[in-house]
Amino acid sequence: MKRLIAIVGPTASGKSGLATHLASIFNGEIVGADSRQIYQCVDIAVAKPTDEQRSSVPHHLIDIISPDSNFTLAQYQELAYQSIADIQRHDKLPFLVGGSGLYIWSVIEGWNIPHVPPNKELRHNLTERARCEGVQSLYNELLKVDPLGAQKINPQNLRRIIRALEVCELTGKPFSMLQGRTAPPFDTLIIGLTAERKDLYRRIDSRIDDMIKEGLVKETRNLLQKGYDLDLPAMTGLGYKQIAMFLNGEVALDTAIQQIKFETHRFVRHQYSWFRINDERIHWFDIMGQNEEAIIKLIDSFIA
């Protein structure tokens, strides 16, 4: 059986750094599992791996589409399987790395995802309804047509709510009914990185301060000047909306930065609903400890 190493955990837990280090030790390559890092030009706010990391170890599924392109979970899963198979064919070890639970589990668990192409008119109508009636109104509709599917979606995640309603409308079946599972042709070792919440929040705040120093304001301005709307999935990553509010004179920069930090803290709490500490499939390591030797031994045992 082929092998896959997955490295999961919340934002700012050090997944990219650890993955690059481990891939260099185990002759591996990295497959990205981040729903924002797939977009070109969107760099700082989504904390893409550094140029040094990407030059030292091959990375896949990063910078693969333009910010205004449509991209579905089914497309991601297909590309991820292709990348993993290609890496394995070259007798290398694939590392699936990211904090997007939807992406990670679709690959590891082998979700059967409906191949329903986006319907621009329907999406536009649903988006306008959300503007007028609120996101909760669409979520309530989803609860009626697909209660099981709705339970797995954050009530504030408009993009996923619209996709679920779109699939229901175009197929005549609940989204959840179309999602079975087929075990993928590889065994997976899942390594989880975590920390006490106060330590994690401190790392997040430091990272956001660094993003500002690296030019997040300039990057946001450039994206807006190129015509990329804040409603695009690529632009809904934490940071762009808040900096855009600053650029529009709606808030002070310090206020925008604090909002980014607050929203990122809240996002981390949501990530733990995807990667649960009590999930026995995940081998958790506290990032504040010295874990490298233990993780290397774990991988050695898994691939032996």
| Cα–Cα distance list, 181 to 92, 104, 122 (Å) | 26, 14, 28
Domains and CATH numbers, the chain: 1-112+184-304 (3.40.50.300), 120-178 (1.10.20.140)
User: Once rounded to an integer, what is the mean pLDDT over residues 101-126?
Assistant: 89
Alpha-helix residue ranges (DSSP H) falling in 135-193: 135-145, 147-150, 158-171
Question: 81 to each of 88, 96, 108, 171, 269, how far by Cα in Å?
Answer: 11, 10, 10, 25, 28
What is the pLDDT averaged over residues 108-113?
Answer: 91
The count of C-alpha atoms lying within 13 angstroms of the C-alpha of 288, restricted to the half-sphere facing its C-beta, is 10
pLDDT in tens, 52-80: 999 999 999 999 999 999 888 889 999 99
Model pTM? 0.85
**Residues 119, 56: Cα–Cα separation, whole Å:** 40
Strand partners of residue 282: 190
C-alpha of 10 from chain center: 10
65: DSSP letter: B
pLDDT greater than 80 at residue 41: yes
The arithmetic mean of pLDDT across residues 81-88, rounded, is: 98
Q: What was the pLDDT predicted at 180? A: 76
Polymer length of the chain: 304
Query: How high is the pLDDT of residue 178?
Result: 67
For the cut 90, the answer to whether the pLDDT of residue 172 exceeds it is no
User: Would you state the structure tokens that stand for residue 204, as one six-digit string?
Assistant: 């997040």
pLDDT, averaged across the chain: 93
pLDDT surpasses 90 at 88: yes
DSSP 50: P
pLDDT band, residue 104 (cuts 50/70/90): very high
Mean pLDDT throughout 7-29?
97
Write out the two tokens for 55: 């030059």
